[in-house]
Amino acid sequence: MGEALGLFPYNNNGLTKVHYESNLLLIDQNHQEEKDTWFEEEIDVNLKWSFALNRVLHKGTSEYQDIALLDTKHFGKVLVIDGKMQSAEADEFIYHECLIHPALLCHPNPKMVFIMGGGEGSAAREALRHKSIEKVVMCDIDQEVVDFCKKHLTANHETFRNKKLDLVINDAKVGLEERDEKFDIIVGDLADPVEGGPCYQLYTKSFYQNILKPKLTQNGIFITQAGPAGVFTHTEVFSSIYNTIKHVFKYVRAYTAHVPSFADTWGWVIASDQPLCIDAGKMDKKIADRIDGELLYLNGPTFVSSTILNKTIAKTLKNETHVYTEDNARFIHGQGVAYRI
């Protein structure tokens, strides 16, 4: 979601006095009527999304991506990577419950989980709530993201101290290839594919087919975030990711939910070579029996309803022909670090 990270003053007439230079949004130093500092995210060329900040906790560029951790007035602490909102304290439970629990609840007895990405720790936190889990491997490429999330995201402090968590700093592709064991669940908690970013190759058919799928157990399930899935945004990458996964797995379902801090409906794709049991009553029973604590967003009926897509999106998914490859990739609006260098 978005392009350049902009921190700018807001004046009395509701307008901002800024100018552009080298793809960054800069403050007009002559402007004295500052009220609040705002974060601005460019969702598309003619569409922006902004919200007021209390302060900037961290802003910099790692080896792989632009990173910002912001304390916002409306959404609490938010993680921004390559100018796009990744997670907000106020509503991250929606995204992470939808990402983690459907796959674990569809599996008969999940014990081993591999998370690609997930540096903030929230995906691992949700997986570790399942009583059957013996090990969660979280493989994130960016040490800097992990370190400042450990420091600033207090909700996940216990997760990073959990003895069942195996934290690996590595490219998820390499990290998965190097593992000797197989996994019941593999999770794609990756940044959205942007041109020049570090993640787009992990959305390709060759990766799914040659590297990821062989690392699943016989009843294994793959689940991934799949980008914006609104009426106006689902053709960016969501439909392509869905169609690509359909070329690799026998049983594939897409589902969506609205995430307020993303300013859009979001999409996920769940896949396996075994039938996926999507039944509201059975799912509610499994939630009660298997998960420590109460979920804030997801229950059986909510998940079942999330798999029922509106007519526009369902038609697109049915007719989609694009398969995601290294040479024929789709990207959402924005640019990664490598592209700008």
**Residue 341 CB coordination number (10 Å):** 7
- Spatial strand order in the sheet of 112-117: 165-169, 135-140, 112-117, 183-189, 216-228, 264-272, 251-259
135-148 exposure pattern, b = at least 16 Cβ within 10 A, e = fewer: bbbbbbbbebbbeb
Q: Which residue has the tokens 């026998």?
A: 250
Q: Which amino acid is it at 114?
A: F
- Spatial strand order in the sheet of 6-9: 18-21, 24-27, 6-9, 37-44, 47-61, 66-72, 76-81, 84-88
- Which alpha helices (DSSP H) does 128-188 contain, by range? 143-152, 157-161, 172-178
Residues 261, 231, 307, 221: is their CA dihedral positive or negative?
Answer: negative
Choice among 142, 189, 192, 264 that is catalytic: 189
Q: What is the CA radius of gyration of the chain?
A: 20
Is residue 192 among the annotated active site residues? Answer: no
Give the catalytic positions in this structure: 189
